[in-house]
Amino acid sequence: MQPAESDYLRAVDLLCAGELVALPTETVYGLGADAANDQAVGKIFAAKGRPADHPLIVHVADTQAVDQWAQDIPDIARNLMRAFWPGPLTLILKKQAWVPSTVTGGQDTVGLRVPGHPVALALLQGFAQAKTPAGIAAPSANRFGRISPTTAAHVAEELGDRVPLILDGGPCAVGIESTIVDCSRDVPAVLRPGHISPEQLEGVLGFRPAIETAQGAPRVSGSLEAHYAPITPMRLVGAAQLLEFLNAQRHRGGHCAVIAHSQLPQAGMPHRWRMLPADPVGYAHALYAALRDMDHAGADMIVVESLPTSPAWVAVADRLRRAAVGAGQS
């Protein structure tokens, strides 16, 4: 899937005019605006219904652009950029004084990433020809607290006429949001787990960073307890209890939509059943589309087979846990 040249031109024009553009990345679709334009960034918060103190990630075209936005960049951060960019890694760095506080949530740090998607990169390069410094602030292109979009159709469903242009880059390869590493302090830590694992980070850093999904203040919006949530109530149930749980629901007349990865459906079960890949990368790729689909199934409850507890599953397990907390709350 490749937008036409005219789509890119229109997207750059819209960004320069302070308007919103939805763009594909390898993780999820983003709702983008000129990160240097306060009013444009304000439109992101309005369209999403997102609280204004939540910082946004600034997407840039290449590693060279980082110095326009950040300062005192430690060597470890440069090493991570070299190893993983373009790619699903966001680095939190000390911001340059001029960077608007609307983008940083009033903090003295800024989140930066070079996305690994050809459409996002082409847009960023086009924007960089029109403007300096060129950064696109983009949170996931969903209503606040809801399931992140992994196709252009999901974005249209979430935001519809609130965004004048959606660039279609096909389904997102990774499917969950970027790994966030805070490099603004003495010892880097993972603020949000993602496709790039602590083991991979260790290969560059020389030590395994801690995962700190902070409670309390929303430094990282995904670290709020309720997030990525369907409207239908949702439960995580262990594989060993799954059939018994579903039978009990059926006897009570409840309709369940099931997302499993190891437990196969049993004959005679009226529940809607979806098998996802039993590996964490395949699971992440399919998860949000499956949740969205099951949310539309008209079920009383989405039942998800709980995930393995091994480190490889930590990022998807994090998303599912938060989705379950936020589900059914609207």
Q: Give yes or no for residue 220 binding ligand TXA (CB under 6 A).
A: yes
The interface mask with ligand TXA, positions 109-148, x = CB under 6 A, is: xxx---x----------------------xxx--------
Residue 301 beta carbon to ligand TXA: minimum distance, rounded to whole angstroms: 26
In the sheet that holds 272-275, the strands lie side by side as: 234-237, 301-305, 256-260, 272-275
Cα(258)–Cα(246) distance, integer angstroms: 9
CA–CA separation, 275 vs 260, rounded Å?
Answer: 5
Q: Provide the minimum distance between the beta carbon of 137 and ligand TXA in the complex, in angstroms, as a whole number.
A: 9
Residue 221 binds to ligand TXA (criterion: CB under 6 A): yes
- Rounded alpha-carbon distances, angstroms, from residue 262 to 272, 287, 303: 15, 15, 14
Contact pattern from residue 181 through residue 200 relative to ligand TXA, giving x for each residue in contact according to CB under 6 A and a dash for the rest:
----------x---------
If one asks whether residue 232 binds ligand TXA (CB under 6 A), the answer comes out as no
Considering only 140, 151, 184, 232, the residue that binds Mg ion (CB under 5 A) is: 140
Which structure tokens are listed for 149? 């979009």
Query: From the CB of 248, what's the least distance to Mg ion, in Å?
Result: 34
Residue 219 sits in the site that holds ligand TXA (CB under 6 A) = yes
Report the interface residues with Mg ion, using CB under 5 A: 140
Binding site for ligand TXA (CB under 6 A): 25, 27-28, 30, 54-57, 90, 92, 104, 107, 109-111, 115, 138-140, 177-178, 180, 191, 219-222
